[in-house]
Amino acid sequence: MAEYRKLHLEEAELIAEIDATHYIKNVWRIDEATGEYRLVEINWTDKELPNGFDWHLSRFKETLKNGGTAIGCFEDETLIGYGTVDKELFGKQEKYALLDQLFVSQGQRGKGIGKALFFLCVKQAAEYGAEKLFLCAGSSENTMAFYKKLGCVPAVEKNQRLYEEDPRDIQLEFSLKGN
């Protein structure tokens, strides 16, 4: 049975246990002619965390050092999923908390783990005083369908720094009011 708990800085290396392998058939891209999103077939298998393990490890540690939270899901003492939420609020009215990472191991997807982690991060963001959870989602068709099903919508405000990190990511938000 899965166990969810907060992760500590000294446990950061556990994220190496995540099997981030992900087959991506289609991605959402902006059509230059229309300015609208459309699905583009790419047939790509990503075999590691996007931007690599070291990038995610650094961000994970940064989140915790700055007072944020990491929540892990364990099965038989193995980390099978995790999410991180930053404590520092941002945006014009400083009401966004960043869901910086959310990953579930390949063999564990489709079991509700990602959804459970997402809503644990939502709860944490509310405790930080946020009104909305902000995320930059990978543009794969499956990733976007997952977040849409949870109730995420295109972000009202755009974050330029996050856009510059990966312009292909799609910025979304989730309202904490009523959820």
- Asked if residues 47 and 63 have their Cβ atoms less than 8 Å apart, the reply is no
Beta carbons of 7 and 72 less than 8 angstroms apart = yes
Range of the structural domain that residue 158 is part of:
3-175
Average pLDDT of the residues in 132-146 = 97
CATH of the domain at 99: 3.40.630.30
Structural domain total, the chain: 1
Tabulate helix, strand, coil % of the chain (nearest 5): 30, 35, 35
Q: pLDDT of 153-165, one tens digit each? A: 999 999 999 999 9
What SS3 class is residue 27? strand
Say whether pTM exceeds 0.85.
Answer: yes
Tens of pLDDT, residues 10-61 = 999 999 999 999 999 999 999 999 999 999 999 999 999 988 999 999 999 9
Q: Which of 155, 164, 179 is nearest to 96 (CA)?
A: 155
